[in-house]
Structure 1
Amino acid sequence: MTYPIITLTLNPAVDKSTTVDYFVAEQKLRCSTPRYDAGGGGLNVSKALKRLGGRSLAFFSSGGPSGQLLQDLLKKEGIDFRIIATQEWTRENFIVTETRTNAQYRFGLPGPTLTAAEADALLTALRELPARPEYVVASGSLPPGLPDDFYGRIAREVRSLGARFILDTSGEPLRLAANEGVYLLKPNLGELSKLAGVEKLEADDVDDAAKAIIARGDCEVVVVSLGPSGALYVTKDQCEHVPAPMVKKLSTVGAGDSMVAGMTWALSQGKTFGEMVRLGVACGSAATMNPGTELFKKADVDRLLDWINQYGSRYQSLPSQLE
């Protein structure tokens, strides 16, 4: 079987989510029945793609009983995957929502240390793909043991495949990968500032900073995530702000990955950049409407996309203050 989209998750997790009435220090807290989900950037992208009707092959590292649970969860969702076996156990994350305040507490545990041989196995798996994918999506942090330039190495491999590389990460791994050249970057304002080499960006400087990054060959498209203000997409000759609809936020887990999935699916369907970002914003906003780690419901995406398409043109200009 051929896959138009490959997702990479180098630091996946089993996400456990539950609720408590309220937090009180040094007291036994009674939690609700936990929910278990396959987590990690690229895996969230694959799960969201499936909900949109897309097909992908998920590459991820997996080790120990928690790694087996991760595989079982993905099989239950019908996600096609290929694992890179690791000696150390796959990490777990713990998300608790305090029901009285709707405050969410997210506990991220450190990932396993990947050996050089395990990292090389991932690169080899990419080289040995039976058919060239259209897009390779990497999302999430690098696990311990991998050098900061590892996403840059992946960028070179993807380029040799003739595929387009979409990257959603942060810090030095983002900068070094951009130096190698990728197709699409999805930074937030803070990350864009670092890529541009400035301490802070004002609202009027965002598009110029993105165009400068494109001009130096780091990428072809920059989609700047603006949180509740939506997103701004920039190419060498286009710039558009897409507003986010107002929704009741229950959880932000997986919202960014849902946005990436929406954009990747739109690109794979030949949509314009404007259509790409509008669907991405709809997916990201819809994901915040569900508790815990549930991602989005397709019906919510359709409804929010309709709002963006009908009313979004009223708010094309950037907000005066972006946080």
Structure 2
Amino acid sequence: MTDDRAPALCVLAPDPLLAVEIEEGRAGGAPEIHVHPGGQGLWLARMAYSLGARVVVCGPFGGEVGDITAHLARSADLELRATGTAGAGALVQDRRSGEPEEIATMPALPLDRHALDDLYGTTLVSALESDVCVLTGSRSDIGVPGDFYGRLVDDLRASERAVVADLSGDAARAVVEAGCTVLKISHEEMAEGGFASGTGLDDLRKAARTMVGEGPAAVVVSRADEPTLVVTHDGDVLVTAPPMTTVDHRGAGDSMTAGIAVGVGRGDPLPQAVALGAAAGALNVARHGLGTGRREQIETFAQRVTIEELS
């Protein structure tokens, strides 16, 4: 039975980003400039908030760009627990041609030992006050080692907190070994990280079953336009959302993870939590703006998502 109370989520966002986008003006007018808080953690947090969750975001929001990013995030009703002095990154894109052209990119500053310790402690304490902790990675090398994530999972499991991770590479390997609640990972990341020998369904299924045997309660493998693979100790299923015309494919995976985390937080069975995530991801690609959507539309659309058990 679904718990309709608002779940509390703690989102680790180690790489917040100020996103500046130049769009074609309406009716041939002057270009439009849009400014958003970005990065995987913040995009995911925005969708989780749209789905009714109470969201706390932990991350480094130092420097001039970090101040602006934090202000925009708080304006979107996200609670922030900022750490250290490391600065956030920034990305300027020209999207007037229909395809994004990066004009300028400023990577986030690397996190030193003290900044990592501050981020760890802040995330741990915040997660202990939440129903679910969501772990995200970064698009740049800011120096967050895999064992940072593994230690977080170990400490949160000791306090019986659910952990949903959207990670790849060494970070994914660390949370698998530590036994996170759910690892969400793409088919490409499964192959590139050496978890699977290929991206075919059989290869992914075999690899995910091996990973589940090592610790996680579930592995969710997103497969682009193909049905999402969900592997648990109880069996394997495919989750399929109705096809949508894509306006902007970015953020679909983050929206899916947000839906999964919200579903886990409110007590949905895992296949239904993934169905909510699939609906959030599918509807997100039909909108301008990453991590955005309306809860009532996503909840209704989730009823059209199919769940097929695999033998």
The TM-score bracket by the shorter chain reads 0.7 to 0.9
Q: How many angstroms does 1:213 deviate by?
A: 0.9
Equivalent-residue separation in structure 1 for 2:127 and 2:205 (angstroms): 39
Equivalent-residue separation in structure 2 for 1:11 and 1:291 (angstroms): 22
Q: How many angstroms does 1:143 deviate by?
A: 4.2
Tell me which residue corresponds to 1:93.
Answer: 91
CA contact (8 A) 2:124 2:152 kept: no
Equivalent-residue separation in structure 2 for 1:269 and 1:42 (angstroms): 20
Once the two structures are superposed, residues 83-116 of structure 1 have per-residue CA deviations (whole angstroms, 9 ceiling, x without a partner) of 01324x31012333244xx333467542211111
TM-score between both structures, scaled by the size of structure 1: 0.83
Q: How many angstroms does 1:31 deviate by?
A: 7.4
Equivalent-residue separation in structure 2 for 1:174 and 1:8 (angstroms): 14
Equivalent-residue separation in structure 1 for 2:133 and 2:81 (angstroms): 14
| Structure 1 alignment gaps of length 5 or more | 22-29, 319-323
Say how many residue pairs are matched.
300
Equivalent-residue separation in structure 1 for 2:235 and 2:287 (angstroms): 33
Q: Are positions 1:104 and 2:100 aligned together?
A: yes
Equivalent-residue separation in structure 2 for 1:94 and 1:229 (angstroms): 31
1:150 and 1:105, CA in 2 relative to 1: closer, same or farther beyond 3 A?
farther
| Structure 2 alignment gaps of length 5 or more | 1-5
Residue among 239, 244, 247 paired with 2:241: 244
> Percent identity of the aligned residues?
23
Q: How many angstroms does 1:122 deviate by?
A: 1.5
More strand by percentage = 2
Q: How many angstroms does 1:294 deviate by?
A: 5.7
Runs of 4+ aligned structure 1 residues displaced above 3 Å come to 104-109, 126-132, 193-199, 297-300
Residue among 270, 274, 287 paired with 1:273: 270
Tell me which residue corresponds to 1:283.
Answer: 280
Q: How many angstroms does 1:286 deviate by?
A: 0.9
Tell me which residue corresponds to 1:122.
Answer: 119
Tell me which residue corresponds to 2:21.
Answer: 17
TM-score between both structures, scaled by the size of structure 2: 0.86
Q: Which amino acid aligns with 1:96?
A: D
CA contact (8 A) 1:3 1:57 kept: no
Q: How many angstroms does 1:131 deviate by?
A: 5.1
CA contact (8 A) 2:218 2:230 kept: yes
Once the two structures are superposed, residues 271-308 of structure 1 have per-residue CA deviations (whole angstroms, 9 ceiling, x without a partner) of 11121111100001111111243633335424432322
Tell me which residue corresponds to 2:230.
Answer: 233
Equivalent-residue separation in structure 2 for 1:45 and 1:241 (angstroms): 23
Tell me which residue corresponds to 2:3.
Answer: none
Tell me which residue corresponds to 1:216.
Answer: 214
Q: How many angstroms does 1:134 deviate by?
A: 2.1
